[in-house]
Amino acid sequence: MTWIERRAFRAYRFRKQSQSVSEAAEEAYLRDDIPCGSDACSTCQNGLPALSADAPHYIIPDAQALDDYLEIFELPQLQNFVLLTSVIQELWRRSNIRKSARLRSLYRDVRRKCTLFDNLHYAPTAPLPSERHTDRKIERAARWFFGHLDCRIPIIILSGSALQQQDQQESAQPGTSLPCLRVDAVADARTPSKPSSDGDAILMQLLKDSGYDVDFSAVTHPAVAVHPEHNHKMVEGVDAMSSGDVLQGALHMARRGPTEGIVRVGQGRDVQEVQINGLKALNRAIHGDIVAVRLLPREQWPASAAAVLEEDVQEASPEDMNEEDNGRPDPNAKEHLGAMNGLAQAGTASNGRLQPSGEVVAIVQRSAQDLAVCLSQQDEAALLSNPDSLRSEAVLCVPMDRRLPLLRLRSRQLLSLVGQRFVVRVDSWQRDSRHPSCHFVRTLGALNDMRAETDALLVKAGIEWQPFSESAMAELPRVADPSQWSVPEAEALVRRDLRSADHLICSIDPPGCTDVDDALSVRELPSGDLEIGVHIADVSHFVQQGGFLDGEAAARCTTVYLVDRRLDMLPALLSEQLCSLRAGTDRLAVSVLWTLSPDLDVKDVWFGRTIIRSRYQLEYQQAQDIMDGRPPRPGHDCIALADRPRLQRNLQVLAWVAAHLRAGRLQDGALELESAELRFETAAEGQPTEVTGKAEVPMMAVVAEMMIFANSAVARRIYQAFPGSALLRRHPPPRQHAFKEVAALCEAGGCPLDTSSNAALSRSLEAAVVASGDPAIGSLIKSLVTRAMSEAEYFSSGDARPGGGGLSHFGLALQHYTHFTSPIRRYADVVVHRQLMAALNSPDAAPPMRHSVLQQATGTMNERHRQAKRAQRECGDLYLLLLLHSKPHVEAAIVYEIQASGVLLFVPKYHIKGAVQLADRAGRPIPLLKGGTEDDLNDPFLLAERQKLTIQHGADYIRIMDRESGVERDRLSAMQRVWVMLGSDGSRAHGPRLRMRILSPSHPSIPTHDNQATDVSELRASSTAAQRQASAAQRLDRKSAAEEPTSRERTSLAGVLHEFGSLNLGEEAVSLQTSSGRTSQEPMTVIFQPETASPEHQSIMHLKEQLWDALRRANRCQVRMSLSCSSAHAPRRERRAQRLASLTAKVLELQNQLQKHIVT
């Protein structure tokens, strides 16, 4: 069948964009082969869906009614309605893409019994040209329908607008009774008391009358969002600001969601936090904006605890404490610390203090950041269901960061963005709009693609990385090959030449390191003094101040180390070749040479430019082996045999000097905090397959200490030269109130924290860690203390306030400190190099950078460092969570805080803190996992089980009990060790999120006791194990105070020591000779004969002494310690220190073993 008639007409359309009416010539082809779609009709051939034959009536809604009551029409109970094409087309023109998709699904869903009828092109119902824009076409269609079905089934028109009067008259014709229902008409006729705008009630009435039984409680009308105006006059008026009425600060949103935020007003000491609650009070402000707030009257301040934003506050990391602890991160490893998402905020107890609350009055400055977003799932489905449309559509984008609101993006090419993560920038937020509008910048890649996700993290952290510009690359030395570069003659004249064989210079770095920026040397002077040298790559020679390369390096400020890649600050030619102090090649360097007396007093320090040739490029483990005298491992045996003894001696001297320096700093109050470094093994596509913690090699501490020494020497020197504009680094003392959490913990352990000065803090921290008796708890305490620390920052020395906030570094306990030793990866070091050179050139030289310029530069540097740290941390988190997602791990954890319906846990292996909710949203308790990897929380049987349980909590315990019987199912107390299943799940929009389930003690996956020994945390059982041993021994001491030690005890001890005969402690062998005295008078001699010696931590030494004391007291025997060092070549003056400093690793194992025997 073909069309039978053609009608041409002019169509008028309203264009929203240009706000004008356009006309076009259109045509309609009428036909008569369109089925009516009703099963009651015998003539038409209907496909599916079809209206049922026994329906009481058929409803035909018009455009207005369909638009307003779309939710009602979507209810499955409402069936048998006819959608006319004219109605649908009208709605399409004014709907957005989501509504169009909903409309489409209305008539395409076969179950719904709703048909689409093309009244525009069906000959009997086609409107005349004059009727095209009126409601008569609906009437026509309805009339035709009625007639077509032989008047059996009444047709009801749902119309939101008034129909013309004449139609109603016509409808009164006999034989064609056509009930036409007007929504307002019903109101007037039936329920005059109800307001006519209450359309829901009317429809409900109608449907009830027709026999439908529907629940309308879920239907709501979306409210039109109208935000209050921004009032900039209030901000600009001087009176308002100065009177304190209107405050200005940066907005931080709570992690929980973008409806609560805090504005931090003021700087430094007098920071005030104003809480903003609710979308109306936020008034279109986005996280990161600088806003003007006005305090609400006191009565309106909420009394609940503030949304704590500890993670949003600039977080310190152990990297700031142990500044050069590991030099730079291992290229394959990362630093990992921090609370994961989901940390419950209610932990900080509300003191009953009222938190000042306010509302945003104006936005002073929008944060201009790029945001990583993806399309919302609803919009993606809508786009995919209509791929051929070229209309400009508006969709909602979901940002990766949960603190940001949804954004509206309008574009014609949205189809290419389905399933992708992309970058947008915020344009504006209109008053009448619920969401801000944004525009598209670029695509990052597909969702869950490793590279795209890492790029998204970089965008989130604010790091924009571009390749080096041509002009910057043009400033590099022109060499075809790095090996062709040689020291220029001009430099050879002005620099001190340290290339002679007299200086044995070598560098010690992580394995696989290509950018070597520091090297060490030791020389014994004929006068008996020691000359220690730290040589740093001379980057300032290659990077001229004010050049393009300098500009690029200053813009980047630091190298960012991510798991899969590294974003360099300098081009590879410099960072890996010409500046890097590689072995066997001449290199330019800046050196610091100290002359130390035999008692390690600093006699003289020399700074200057040098030329060096590093002899060996060692790895940490390799250096450790050499120093201990062990044979080299495979791959490490490149050292010439003739050099080995000298190298060994040098390393031992270095270790001794480093130990001495460290002891000095610890005495002044330096803090020793931990960080867990995790290394990931990745598969071919970049997916992480394995995570391992990094073992601590003592050589790392040695190198770190030397770097700290060099940094502080340089800091003193440049401060002396330029007291008003030296680039230094300071660490302000921590905020007192940040210690609340830790203080509570330590008090419970019996050792309160003293935070008055850094020495006091250091001492009390050590005591608390030792008193806790558990290395995991010690780790936890240190981790919490780290969080309480403020951030270290660069500053220009002209900033120092005489009263407070001075120059010193709290964590390292140094008066002056700066960054000097890593110019290849930090721009601050390059600036310090230039300042040092300027200071050396002439005594009253002008500083290379004025104070004002430097102040600005330090602000940038601090910001960039923060961004880099954030990116590194989040990258590590991402990889860890992805790994946990593919392979859930079972790990040990400690409960450290109890909350109303959950607990806070600490996992020592990964240094993760997280919250575990023990009740779901409906309040039903979630018991500990008894078996398997996960139980379905929505399983109806389990739900029924869980309904019977209830949660009870006290100050330091929480338990799940049976409601009726009161039998306790699970119990968790503070400081309890538990096992958790770590996994991750997460939304596609926000990335993976940590999920922890506590395992019941009977869970089959919990490792047995044997496996526990290999737990990583046990490897850290250093001082705490010793203390445990000592306290155990003391207990024994008290027990047997008056008794003579029985021979059984002595033999048991001897037996243990005898068992030790030859003990393999890792790589070190100790041979033991014991002669146990048979009588109490004869002393028992224990001879330790270590084959190698290794320096160890100072505090361990103390505890070793305590151990011996305890042993002696416990056994009433004289235990004489005699030892002989096998290193015959060690200079005499070192032997004493070495003796004192050695043995402790052996003592570790000995203590462990002894503990088992003596205590039990």
Site residues for another protein per CB under 8 A: 2-3, 6, 8, 22-31, 34, 85, 89, 92, 100, 104, 107-108, 116, 118, 120-121, 386-391
Nearer to another protein among residue 2 and residue 1081 (C-beta)? 2
CB atoms within 10 A of CB 286: 24
CA distance 830 to 554: 9
CB atoms within 10 A of CB 830: 26
Minimum separation from the CB atom of position 375 to another protein (A): 18
Nearer to another protein among residue 10 and residue 208 (C-beta)? 10
Contact present, 1100 and 1023 (Cβ < 8 Å): yes
CA distance 155 to 157: 7
Nearest C-alpha neighbor of 780 from the set 766, 791, 769: 769
Minimum separation from the CB atom of position 865 to another protein (A): 48
CA distance 615 to 587: 11
Minimum separation from the CB atom of position 1003 to another protein (A): 53
Whose tokens are 């721009």? That residue is: 827
Contact present, 455 and 407 (Cβ < 8 Å): no
Nearer to another protein among residue 106 and residue 276 (C-beta)? 106
Minimum separation from the CB atom of position 891 to another protein (A): 52
Sequence length of the chain is: 1160
Q: Which residues of 1063-1077 are buried (b: 16+ CB within 10 A; e: fewer)?
A: eeeeebebebebebe
Nearer to another protein among residue 108 and residue 1038 (C-beta)? 108
Nearer to another protein among residue 97 and residue 339 (C-beta)? 97
Minimum separation from the CB atom of position 33 to another protein (A): 9
Nearer to another protein among residue 391 and residue 977 (C-beta)? 391
CA distance 649 to 1135: 12
The torsion angle over the Cα atoms of residues 487, 493, 496 and 498, rounded to 10 degrees, is 40
Minimum separation from the CB atom of position 390 to another protein (A): 5
CA distance 976 to 892: 11
The tokens for 843 are 């005594």
Nearer to another protein among residue 74 and residue 167 (C-beta)? 74
How deeply is 1 buried, as exposed, middle or buried, from its count of CB atoms within 10 A (0-12, 13-18, 19+)? exposed
The tokens for 845 are 């030289």
Minimum separation from the CB atom of position 57 to another protein (A): 23
CB atoms within 10 A of CB 259: 16
Nearer to another protein among residue 268 and residue 387 (C-beta)? 387
Minimum separation from the CB atom of position 20 to another protein (A): 9
Minimum separation from the CB atom of position 410 to another protein (A): 17
- 59 phi and psi angles, rounded to 5 deg: -105, 135
Minimum separation from the CB atom of position 388 to another protein (A): 5
CA distance 1098 to 664: 10
Nearer to another protein among residue 222 and residue 387 (C-beta)? 387
Nearer to another protein among residue 25 and residue 1042 (C-beta)? 25
Task: Give the side-chain half-sphere CA count within 13 A for 495.
Answer: 22
Minimum separation from the CB atom of position 396 to another protein (A): 21
Contact present, 693 and 909 (Cβ < 8 Å): yes
Minimum separation from the CB atom of position 151 to another protein (A): 25
Nearest C-alpha neighbor of 1104 from the set 1134, 1076, 1139: 1139
Give alpha helix (H) positions in 1008-1143: 1009-1012, 1016-1019, 1023-1039, 1047-1059, 1098-1115, 1132-1141
Backbone region of residue 802 per phi and psi (left: phi > 0; alpha: psi in -120 to 50; beta: other values): alpha
Minimum separation from the CB atom of position 95 to another protein (A): 10
Minimum separation from the CB atom of position 45 to another protein (A): 12
Nearest C-alpha neighbor of 54 from the set 145, 147, 142, 149: 149
Contact present, 317 and 807 (Cβ < 8 Å): no
Nearer to another protein among residue 27 and residue 936 (C-beta)? 27
Whose tokens are 């740290």? That residue is: 869
Nearer to another protein among residue 35 and residue 160 (C-beta)? 35
Nearer to another protein among residue 414 and residue 960 (C-beta)? 414
For every residue of 7-30, DSSP letters joined together read EEEEEEEEETTTTEEEEEEEEEEE
Nearer to another protein among residue 389 and residue 1152 (C-beta)? 389
Strand, coil or helix: 31: strand
Nearest C-alpha neighbor of 204 from the set 217, 223, 188, 189: 217
Nearer to another protein among residue 120 and residue 1148 (C-beta)? 120
Contact present, 996 and 982 (Cβ < 8 Å): yes
Contact present, 462 and 368 (Cβ < 8 Å): no
Nearer to another protein among residue 107 and residue 979 (C-beta)? 107
Minimum separation from the CB atom of position 86 to another protein (A): 12
Minimum separation from the CB atom of position 117 to another protein (A): 8
The tokens for 1134 are 């070192």
Which residues have CB under 8 Å from 1017's CB, separation 6+?
775, 776, 779, 892, 908, 909
Nearer to another protein among residue 118 and residue 311 (C-beta)? 118
Q: How far is CA 718 from the centre of its chain?
A: 36
CA angle in degrees (0–180, nearest 5) for 1131-1132-1137: 100
Minimum separation from the CB atom of position 121 to another protein (A): 3
Nearer to another protein among residue 29 and residue 465 (C-beta)? 29
Minimum separation from the CB atom of position 12 to another protein (A): 11
